[in-house]
Amino acid sequence: MNKYLKLIRIKQWIKNGVVFIPLVFSLSFKDSALILNSFLAFLAFSFCASGVYIRNDLADVLKDRNHPKKKFRPIPSGEIKMHTAHFLSVAMFLLSFITLYMLNIKCLLIMCLYILINYFYTKHLKQIPILDIGCIASGFILRVLIGCFAISVTPSAYLILATFFASTFFGFYKRMLEINLKTDNTREVLSKYNKNILENYILVSGSLFIAFYTFYTLNRQLNDDMHSEYLYLSVFPLIYMAFRLIFLMHKDNKNDDPSELFYSDRHIQLSAIIYIGIVIVLVA
């Protein structure tokens, strides 16, 4: 069973928690029907993303066998046969669309767009610097949008921009970790980046994320809806988290996936808990 959980990358489902952001900040979490819709959107995106991960692993199996960490994944290691992986990817997509059937056509279109973007990413765009990260960031914007459409709320421009720049921050951060781990022989686009460029991209993306999220928390309509003027306090744990990630970027050369740091670094975990606590207190 563990090998199948690794194949669908269940740990990566944490990224799909972005789907719940509209539910929280629109105060829709007080409606059980909308909570169910958000949960269905989360499941649908998680199933679909797992299907995409499997398709990418199948496409990159030869390169992954030369990667210091990816060679231990179920497909490159031979733990799961390729025909079995093909079947599981189809099953994940079917589960996603069955779940979306319970929502609405807008959510279905968002998921189709996500699959289309990932198809072009796998075929060509992942080899083009900046556009490779743009594709990844677009996936997170689609997560926010499906979260909005699942509960019928209008997405905030500031929230969309904050999501985009948070995604580019983590995308460029991942490229930096990959360079630090010296995996440039397995991902063609890494040869087109260098550490100085990536550091600048990371700093710019992180700064813009903090700026747009701050603008979002200062939105008068949002504060009126929440009956609180202190949502801006949630900015501070995010700033510390960004600083901590940049600190670790120059310390940790054993990992090339930023999401793993959320499972291993206590500073980041504590920052996330404080952030969630502040938001819960202010919106409850």
Q: What integer pLDDT is reported at residue 183 of this predicted model? A: 52
Residue with the two structure tokens 């231990």: 72
Distance CA 281, CA 187 (A): 43
Q: What is the pLDDT of residues 253-269, one digit of tens each?
A: 667 778 778 888 899 99
Is residue 184 pLDDT above 70, yes or no?
Answer: no
Mean pLDDT along residues 146-151: 94
Q: Is the pTM of this model over 0.85?
A: yes
How does residue 26 score in pLDDT terms, banded at 50, 70 and 90? Answer: confident
Is residue 85 pLDDT above 80, yes or no?
Answer: yes
Q: What is the pLDDT of residues 63-74, one digit of tens each?
A: 778 777 777 888
Mean pLDDT along residues 57-80: 81
Q: What integer pLDDT is reported at residue 124 of this predicted model? A: 86
Mean pLDDT along residues 118-125: 89
Mean pLDDT along residues 6-13: 87
Mean pLDDT along residues 272-281: 92
Enumerate long-range contacts of 229-234, CB under 8 Å, 24 or more apart.
Answer: 230/282, 231/279, 231/282, 233/278, 233/282, 234/275, 234/278, 234/279, 234/282
Mean pLDDT along residues 141-151: 95
Q: What integer pLDDT is reported at residue 65 of this predicted model? A: 80
Determine whether 121 is exposed, middle or buried from the number of CB atoms within 10 Å of its CB (0-12, 13-18, 19+).
buried
Is residue 220 pLDDT above 90, yes or no?
Answer: no
Q: Which residue has the higher pLDDT, 256 or 49?
A: 49
How does residue 17 score in pLDDT terms, banded at 50, 70 and 90? Answer: very high
Is residue 190 pLDDT above 60, yes or no?
Answer: yes
8 A C-beta contact, residue 144 and residue 155: yes
- Per CATH, the number for 22-154 is 1.10.357.140
Task: Give percent of the chain above pLDDT 70.
Answer: 95
CA distances from 266 to 17, 241, 272, 274, 279 (A): 19, 11, 10, 12, 20
| Three-point CA angle 122, 180, 62, nearest 5° | 35
Q: What integer pLDDT is reported at residue 252 of this predicted model? A: 60
Q: What integer pLDDT is reported at residue 61 of this predicted model? A: 84
| Three-point CA angle 106, 110, 114, nearest 5° | 170
Mean pLDDT along residues 240-249: 91
Average pLDDT, the chain: 88
Is residue 185 pLDDT above 70, yes or no?
Answer: no
Q: What integer pLDDT is reported at residue 14 of this predicted model? A: 87
Is residue 186 pLDDT above 70, yes or no?
Answer: no
Q: What integer pLDDT is reported at residue 228 of this predicted model? A: 76
Q: What integer pLDDT is reported at residue 1 of this predicted model? A: 63
